[in-house]
A = this chain, B = another copy of it.
Amino acid sequence: MSVNAVLTAQQAPASAGAPDPMLIEDLVAAYRILAQQGVLDGFGHVSARHNRAANRFIMSRSLAPELVTANDLIEFDLDGNPVDAKGRSLYSERFIHAEIYRARPDVRSVVHNHAPSLIPFGVTTVPLRPMYHMASFIGNGVPVFDIRKSFGMTDMLVSDSKKGHALAEVLGQKAVVLMRGHGVAVVGSTIPIAVGRSIYLDINAKVQAQALALGGNITYLDPQEAQKMMDAGENRSYERPWELWKAKATGK
């Protein structure tokens, strides 16, 4: 793959064509929604798979999420090469997205964030677990990626395809993978689902921390309950809050 990556870096990949305008609109909204909801701050990013090509995805140039507009979006191939960066700086961790799209055909949107509520669960022996139906998407568990296991001492960043691939392997078929000492990657079959999961994952982490602090015994959501919720449509695909979030994020 590294040879391929070098080649691709020299020859920019061809574009799959203009994405669906609604995909662009939703992706820009996603950046702003995640900033407004406190999931992203000046760092982190969200991407969407290209609607015309499974081997292309769209994400912003290196920019604080709250500032992203349609003009900042760039098309990438699954080696993380931009179709046309126009000289702009890129997110060094675009490989998180690239390798998850490569490994998971069902995924059409990926969020990478450093929400403060989640960092503790990536560094402790206490597993993140679903406290209520809104977090059913983690009913089958949350794996933790420790970059040190395969790569030793690093700057903690998933800044090449190999590291992205290792992360995607730990993610497996789950919805969420925690990254030790770093953050999280969240996936979904649509932008609203990836965004909604990111928001409720943050809330669920706060709820679990508070529940543990109470000092009693906790009844977590049963994996079967979580599965039934997922089968019933996972919070109606977040359509209801998405309408609200998007209205607030776009000022419409």
Contacts and interface: CB of A to CB of B under 8 A. Distances in A.
A216 B125 contact: yes
Interface size class of A (residues with CB under 8 A): 35 or more
Nearest to A241: B42
Contacts of A124: 211, 214, 216-219
A214 B114 CA distance: 18
A144 to B, nearest CB: 10
Interface string A150-187: 00011111000000000000000000000011110000
A156 B213 contact: no
A126 interface: yes
Contacts of A188: none
Interface stretch (A7-15, A17-25, A48-56, A130-138): A130-138
A232 interface: yes
Query: Which 8 residue pairs of A and B lie closest in terms of their CB atoms, listed nearest first?
Result: A42-B241, A120-B211, A64-B244, A125-B216, A126-B216, A133-B156, A124-B216, A155-B232
